[in-house]
Amino acid sequence: ILATNNKSKVKEISEMMSGSDITFVSLADVGINVEVEETGTTFEENALLKAREICKLSGKPTISDDSGLCVDYLDGAPGLYSARYSGEDATDEKNIDKLLFDMKNADNRKAKFVSVVSIAKPNGEVYSFRGEAEGEILSGRMGTNGFGYDPVFLSDDLGKSFGVSTSDEKKSVSHRGRA
């Protein structure tokens, strides 16, 4: 079980693991309608909280990802709050708009995507893996591929935004793929 209802995350993780004999399902696919409160202070803590809770509820091995964008100029923000950076009714577009506004005078545009993938098994075993993708925040959107902050993230590895990168290119260097 993937401890998410984010269809983009389910698609991305399923594509990364294509060729394995594992079938990934979302919370909705297995009828779990629970929002695990992310009370941790790190990506690691939040990923483990979600994986353990859904594993406990389902009795099935569970994978959880907690990820976000950490911007040097903003002292690591939006960080843990990347998905709701622009407020309670946050959308990808609103989050990008807020980020670009907050960085309009930035002299340092360095940023990184961080992902921690945690796996909880019914026997109590847990594992966590961290991946990072270094880059910069562009001054405007470039491309429409991906999701979240991808259109404004210039990947150091690719030399272009995740928003113009193909799915295969992004997977080869992404924070989630590395984790």
Q: What is the pLDDT of residues 85-122, one digit of tens each?
A: 999 999 999 999 999 999 999 999 999 999 999 999 99
Query: For residues 136 and 75, what is the distance between their CA atoms, to the nearest angstrom?
Result: 14
Q: Provide the annotated active-site residues.
A: 66
What pLDDT, on the 0 to 100 scale, is given for residue 6?
79
DSSP state letter for 143: -
Q: What is the pLDDT of residues 118-151, one digit of tens each?
A: 999 999 999 999 999 999 999 999 999 988 999 9
Triad 90, 112, 101: Cα angle to 5°: 45
Q: Give me the sign of the Cα torsion angle 88, 82, 96, 28.
A: negative
What is the phi-psi region of residue 87: left when phi exceeds 0, alpha when psi lies from -120 to 50, beta otherwise? left
What pLDDT, on the 0 to 100 scale, is given for residue 171?
87
DSSP state letter for 24: P
In this prediction, residue 45 has a pLDDT band, given cuts at 50, 70 and 90, of: very high
Sheet holding 110-120, edge to edge: 62-71, 110-120, 126-137, 153-155
- Helical segments of the chain, H only: 7-16, 43-58, 92-102, 167-173, 175-178
Across the range 66-92, mean pLDDT stands at 96
